[in-house]
A and B are shown apart, each in its own frame.
Chain A
Amino acid sequence: MSDTGTFGGRGSRDASIVNKKGRGEIDGTRRSGPVRPAPAGDPFLIGENMTGGYGRGPDILHNCTIAVEKGEIAVIVGPNGAGKSTAMKALFGMLNLREGSVRLNGQDITALNPQDRVKAGMGFVPQVNNIFPSMSVEENLEMGAFIRNDDFRGTMEQVYGLFPILKDKRHQAAGELSGGQRQQVAVGRALMTQPSLLMLDEPTAGVSPIVMDELFDRIIEIARTGLPVLMVEQNAKQAMNIADKAYVLVQGRNAHTGTGKELMENDEVRRTFLGG
């Protein structure tokens, strides 16, 4: 939004002439560069030595490395402002990397734009604005499958199997659902592309503890089907409990890396971050 402040921003607040609902921020015009083969022996997804920030702003990530192996749940945790969501956006191609590369499934996808990364197999669930609120649950799922030309009803049944409540509410507008149900719609929408990797940006933000446990159970269930899951989480303890691998970021750098269990037992992590 380069022109915020036009006419002192006055006209921009008049909803009788301008519609700011659902405006996008991603630059959809950016073209993808070439995809190159990645070196052998890479993890399924790896963002290696990522350094960069938004636009021409300062670097937020510094030599940050995040990797996910097949069949794993990996979580990114860290204090507020540590660059967790930024790291995930970097993997997804939403910010310019000055250094480092992103490789998925044996291909170097550093030059791809986000749309093409979805086509390359990334399923991404943004933290907010992750559903189409005025469309029905079923239409949300259909839109998730937009890039598919085959019959996606089987996938839809799988999603309904995973989240039975969505089947009951499939004709209801997604914007009318509760917070936890909306998150289910958002995850379901991402699953409709049949991604080879699922990336969740704080899926439990703003939902009650009960709903949070329920969501984590579903995420574990998804991972058990063999789909690798990468997740950014605020609720570090719960996230580490279910994680095969955890990355603790501090100020955009890898501070600690290990299995969830290792990090839970690590004194420094516990003291500085998990609160004792």
Chain B
Amino acid sequence: MDILNALVAFLNFVFIPAAAYGAQLALGALGVTLIYGILRFSNFAHGDTMAFGAAITIFATWALQAAGVSIYPLPTALLALPIGIAGTALMVLATDRLVYRYYRQKKSDPIILVMASVGVMFIMNGLTRVLIGVDEIRFDDGARFVIDVRSFREWSGLTEGLALRTTQLITLVVAVLVVGVLFWFLNRTRSGKAMRAYSDNEDLALLSGIDPEKVVRLTWIIAAALATIAGVLYGLDKAFKPFNYFQILLPIFAAAIVGGLGSPIGAIAGGFIVAFSEVAITYPWKKVAEYLGFDTGSAMLQLMSTEYKFAVSFVILIVVLLFRPTGLFRGKAY
């Protein structure tokens, strides 16, 4: 029995990867939940907006690298992030102008905007692939590890190693900063409060002198920033591949719905719940169990193979919709 080794194995294989993944999902879900709360529809194009934002950031990263700019040990992509955000913001504002505004002014049912967003998803999906290609791109050029397995073993004397990659730490730090700024913005600033007022009651917001189009523009810009940051962090952590962003849409929606659509705090909680469930269910617990003194024989103690990780989001989604459709933190969907 060796509790310390079990703990380190748990941290290394479950906690750290799930926390980083959870932060990425939370940032994605925040964007989805903001659009749902304020623009009143589920934006299926959000995953591909993340891909588009990451692609623009990669272009900017390449340009910076070519110019010899480096912020080692941090990845250059962090420096390129503002350019990616600006490009993505322009893109979503153009989309709004060309697609969504028409339906909004016609006061179409929100379901029509949902369907329109599916169309936007396909266009943006194609556009990203035309621009940057379909292959996997690695663009994390900073230091690889904050803590690596060997030096951890030497330092601690344990058999089990612990690795903390730079991208994982960056993901967590950036996520905390972004969430902090977003909550401060929504709860403390005049524009943030105007957005919440518009989300609560459109007509009364209009009669209070809040310009609806300004609120809509601001919402898109914030959603674009969140999508780009989430997309870049995900790409840094795993690798950039346009198709992955299409797939990640499911866990993101699961996260937003688990937390309660329209509730920012719920989106964060939901992101971590989905990520931890996904990792915990697909991780073979054999090693941890053996450190704790259980004889597992030949069993791997893996509930599901990693190929089925998306099934986890599905199951969580179904369970929540069946038993608590408003989400853990009562969102706007009640």
Interface of A is mostly: loop
Q: Which residues of A contact B194 (CB under 8 A)?
A: 143, 146
User: A249 CA to B109 CA in the complex, in Å?
Assistant: 35
Bound: A88/B82 CA distance, A: 49
CB proximity of A143 to chain B, nearest CB, Å: 5
Whether A129 touches B201, Cβ cut-off 8 Å, given contacts A114-B206, A144-B208, A146-B194, is: yes
Using CB atoms and an 8 Å cutoff, list the residues of chain A in contact with chain B.
Answer: 1-4, 6-7, 9, 11-12, 14-29, 114-115, 118-119, 124, 126, 129-135, 139, 142-144, 146-147, 189, 193
Contact of B114 among A11, A21, A114, A143 (CB under 8 A): A11
A15-B36 Cα distance, complex, nearest whole Å = 10
B263-293: which residues lie under 8 A (CB-CB) from chain A?
none
Contact B325 A115 (CB under 8 A): no
Determine whether the beta carbon of A26 is less than 8 Å from that of B203: yes
Central interface residue in A22, A23, A118, by most chain B CB within 10 Å: A22
User: Roughly how many angstroms separate A25 CA and B325 CA in the complex, as a whole number?
Assistant: 27
Known: A129-B204, A139-B193. A15 touches B210 (CB 8 A): no
Interface: B323 (CB within 8 A): no
- From B42, B107, B110, give the contact of A2 (CB < 8 A): B107
Contact A22 B201 (CB under 8 A): yes
Size class of the B contact interface (CB-based, 8 Å): 35 or more
| Chain A residues positioned under 8 Å from B262 (CB to CB) | 19, 21
Report chain B residues within 8 Å CB of A6. 108-109, 111-112
Contacting pair A12 B210 (CB below 8 A): no
Q: Mark B112-133, 1 if CB is under 8 A from A, else 0.
A: 1011000000000000000000
Digitize B183-196: 1 where CB-to-A-CB distance is under 8 Å, 0 elsewhere. 00000001001101
In the complex, the chain A residue whose C-beta lies closest to that of B42 is: A17
Q: Is the pair B206, A133 in contact by a Cβ cutoff of 8 Å? A: no
Query: Contacts A18-B41, A18-B109: A131 and B201 contacting too (C-beta < 8 A)?
Result: yes
Question: Counting CB contacts under 8 A, is B9 at the interface?
Answer: no
User: Which residues B286-332 have CB closer than 8 A to chain A?
Assistant: 321, 325, 332
Mask: chain B, 42-69; 1 = CB below 8 Å from A; 0 = not? 1000000000000000000000000000
Which of B37, B40, B203 is within 8 Å of A129, CB to CB? B203
Q: Is the CB of A19 within 8 A of B41?
A: yes
Of A4, A26, A115, A135, the contact of B109 (CB 8 Å cutoff) = A4
Residues of A contacting B196 in the complex (Cβ-Cβ under 8 angstroms): 132, 134-135, 139
- Minimum CB–CB distance for B198 against chain A, Å: 8
Contact: A15 with B109, CB < 8 Å?
Answer: no
Q: In the complex the two chains form, what is the Cα distance from A26 to B202 in whole Å?
A: 9
Other-chain residue from A16, A22, A29, A131 in contact with B261 (beta carbon distance below 8 A): A16
B1 within 8 Å of A by Cβ? Answer: no
Least CB distance, A146 to chain B, in whole angstroms: 5
B12 to chain A, nearest CB (A): 36
Chain B residues within an 8 Å CB radius of A139: 193, 196-197
Query: Using a CB–CB distance below 8 Å, which chain B residues touch chain A?
Result: 36-37, 40-42, 105-112, 114-115, 190, 193-194, 196-197, 199-210, 212-213, 257, 261-262, 321, 325, 332-334
Answer whether A11 and B111 are a contact pair too, CB < 8 Å, given A17-B42, A22-B199: yes
Q: Could you say which residues of chain B place their CB within 8 Å of the CB of A144?
A: 208
List the B side residues contacting A132 at CB < 8 Å. 196-197, 200-201, 204-205
Cβ distance A68 to chain B, nearest Cβ, rounded Å: 19
Residues of B within 8 A of A16 (CB): 42, 257, 261, 321, 325, 333
Contact: A1 with B201, CB < 8 Å? no
In the complex, what distance in Å separates the CA atom of A139 from the CA atom of B205? 12
**CB–CB A24/B108 < 8 A:** no
Q: Are B200 and A133 in contact (CB under 8 A)?
A: yes
Check A134–B200 contact: CB distance below 8 A.
yes
Central interface residue in A19, A26, A124, by most chain B CB within 10 Å: A19
Closest chain B CB from A193 CB (angstroms): 8
Kindly provide the distance from the CB of B251 to the nearest chain A CB, expressed in whole angstroms: 15
Q: Are A11 and B109 in contact (CB under 8 A)?
A: yes
Q: Is A135's CB under 8 angstroms from B41's CB?
A: no
- Residue in chain B with minimal CB distance to A130: B204
Query: Are B40 and A23 in contact, CB atoms less than 8 angstroms apart?
Result: yes
Q: Once the chains bind, are B114 and A25 in contact (CB under 8 Å)?
A: no
Q: Can you list 21 contacts pairing A with B, beta carbon distance less than 8 Å?
A: A1-B107, A2-B106, A3-B107, A3-B108, A3-B109, A11-B114, A15-B261, A15-B325, A16-B333, A17-B110, A18-B110, A20-B40, A23-B40, A26-B202, A28-B202, A129-B201, A132-B196, A134-B196, A135-B193, A135-B197, A143-B197
B39 nearest CB neighbor, chain A only: A19
Of residues A20, A23, A114, A143, which shows the largest number of chain B Cβ atoms within 10 Å of its Cβ? A143
